[in-house]
Structures are given as C-alpha cells and as structure tokens.
C-alpha cells in the first residue's frame, strides 16, 4: 500500500466519524423537543346575554301559624307569605269594605293550612314590595303534594292573577279558573263578575254591592273595625271603637297587626282587650 493510499483511507475514516457524530446530534435534538399539546376547547354561550330568568324551584318546609286572609298567611317564624298567581277577595284591607266571598275564601284557606306543615316553592321573586314571601304552597297528603294556590282557584275561592316574572304555573291556574267559572263554583255563583277572562275582576254580589275600577265594595256586610295592635314589648292588644286609644292606634299589617270582626276572633287568636276599653 502506498503512502498516498493510506492517507486517503485515514481521511475517509475521519470523514465517516464526523458524519456519524452529526447525525447523532440531530437525532438527540429531535427527541428532546417538546411535542405540541392540544389546548382545551373554550365553550362559550352565545345566548348568555339574553338568557331569561327561570324558576328556581327552591323548596322549603314550614308551618302555617295563622291565616291573614284568603291568599296571605303567617309562618311559624313570623314571616308573612303571599300565595303566587292568585287573588282572593279582600277582608282585612282597611281602605275597602269586606269584598264579596272574602270571608268564605279566608275560612277555606284556614281549613286547608292553619297549623299545618307545608312545602313552599319559590318562583323568581323572593318577596313582594311589602316584604312578604312569594311562594307556591303545598299540602302534604298521603305522600302527595297538593298545591293550595290551585285548590283555591279550582274551588272558586280565588281568581288567577298574573304578576310577572312569577308565572311558572299561570297557564294551569288560568285553566282552573275557567273550569271553576263554567261550573259556577264559589264566587262565580255568589258574586257578579266582570267578564274579563281569565283574570276576571270580582265586582260584587247583589244590588247592595258596587265596584270602582274592578274593586269589590260590599256595603251589606259588617266591616271589621276592631284594631289588633302589637305593643313595643310584643304584647298583642285589641282596641274596640270608643276605647281610649282606638283613634290614635294605627294598624300595620306588615308587622303582624290586623283587624278583627269580633272580640271572640281576637281572643281566640291570642289577643287581649285594651285596659282603657
């Protein structure tokens, strides 16, 4: 072998080594590079800005301490509650006389719920402008839930009355009102009705009853004039017309005060007679 051939062989070997080292480094760089990771998909709701409020369906249990009128009650903890979606004739509003079928509605409401445990279902609003809870009220009968709001309408003690946004069961209440009216139940048989359906306005009964703007005013029924006042110490005291403090006593129903139609009614619900009577 000539010297020149030996030199070429050595140079070839060196070149092969250089190429091999270069390939090894490139391979190492490829394996050490981080692989791209997929980003989590971000889900957006294109209707979020226009979503309408929906019923919460929140349910709690409570005991009815007493009824205030046909569509309003007081719970065991003192909170006042107004039934959603219905309206019964007035009996305790001092601004108007007792309305047609109002006492019957109050008595029926009392027979249904007073002293009983019930379930309360919230719609959209929690309270009304008077601070009263707004709820659908259910009786628990033999494992079944019976809605009091619907019972009052179906038996003719109340009319369907819509107050948006609390209208979850309004269509059902409207249909129950139509059925009660067609069967002449309750107030539909006893009162003259202004035919505005389905939220009809009760305008009275017989010739002695009049109406102003759809409000019932019954003049042939004794007005409840006994004032049930709650003192600063929490004592419940009733005042008869002519008592020393009667004229200066103001009744605030939002604090639990009320009007009575008789002394027996006042005494039976835990009120005592004022000492200056």
* 177 is an active site residue: no
Mean per-residue pLDDT for 28-37? 50
Q: What is the pLDDT of residues 145-165, one digit of tens each?
A: 999 999 999 999 999 998 889
Provide the H-helix boundaries in the chain.
3-32, 102-113, 148-154, 170-182, 187-190, 263-268
Of the residues 90, 104, 121, 257, which is catalytic?
Answer: 90
Q: What is the pLDDT of residues 34-55, one digit of tens each?
A: 444 444 333 333 333 333 445 5
Mean per-residue pLDDT for 89-94? 79
* 61 is an active site residue: no
Q: 10 vs 213, which has greater pLDDT?
A: 10
Flag whether 185 is in a domain.
yes
Task: Note whether 158 and 256 are same-domain residues.
Answer: no
Task: Note whether 155 and 64 are same-domain residues.
Answer: yes
> How far is it, in rounded angstroms, from Cα 199 to Cα 39?
56
Task: Note whether 235 and 178 are same-domain residues.
Answer: no
Of the residues 103, 132, 135, 258, which is catalytic?
Answer: 132
CATH number of the domain enclosing 184: 2.40.50.90
* 272 is an active site residue: no
Backbone angles phi, psi at 136, to 5 degrees: -90, 135
Of the residues 74, 82, 135, 253, which is catalytic?
Answer: 82
Range of the domain at 76: 59-189
């Amino acid at each position: 072998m000539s010297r020149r051939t030996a030199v070429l062989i050595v140079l070839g070997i060196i070149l092969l080594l250089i190429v091999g080292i270069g390939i090894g480094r490139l391979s190492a760089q490829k394996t050490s590079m981080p692989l791209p990771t997929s980003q989590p998909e971000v889900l957006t709701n294109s209707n979020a800005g226009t979503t309408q409020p929906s019923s919460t369906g929140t349910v709690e249990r409570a005991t009815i301490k007493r009824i205030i009128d046909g569509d309003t009650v007081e719970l065991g903890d003192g909170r006042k509650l107004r039934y959603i979606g219905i309206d019964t004739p007035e009996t305790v509003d001092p601004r108007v006389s007792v309305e047609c079928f109002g006492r019957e509605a109050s008595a029926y409401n009392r027979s249904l719920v007073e002293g009983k445990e019930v379930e309360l279902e919230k719609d959209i609003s929690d309270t009304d402008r008077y601070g009263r809870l707004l709820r659908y009220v259910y009786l628990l009968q033999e494992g079944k839930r019976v809605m009091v709001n619907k019972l009052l309408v179906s038996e003719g003690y109340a009319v369907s009355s819509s107050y948006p946004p609390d209208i979850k069961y309004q269509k059902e209440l409207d249909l129950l009102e139509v059925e009660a009216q067609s069967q002449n139940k309750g107030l539909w048989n006893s009162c003259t009705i202004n035919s505005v359906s389905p939220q009809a306005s009760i305008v009275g009964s017989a010739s002695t009853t009049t109406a102003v703007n759809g409000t019932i005013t019954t003049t042939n029924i004794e007005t409840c004039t006994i004032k049930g006042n709650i003192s600063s110490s929490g004592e419940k005291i009733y005042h008869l017309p002519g008592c020393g403090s009667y004229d200066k006593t103001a009744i605030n129903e939002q604090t639990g005060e009320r009007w009575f139609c008789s002394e027996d009614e006042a005494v039976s619900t835990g009120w005592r007679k004022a000492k200056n009577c």
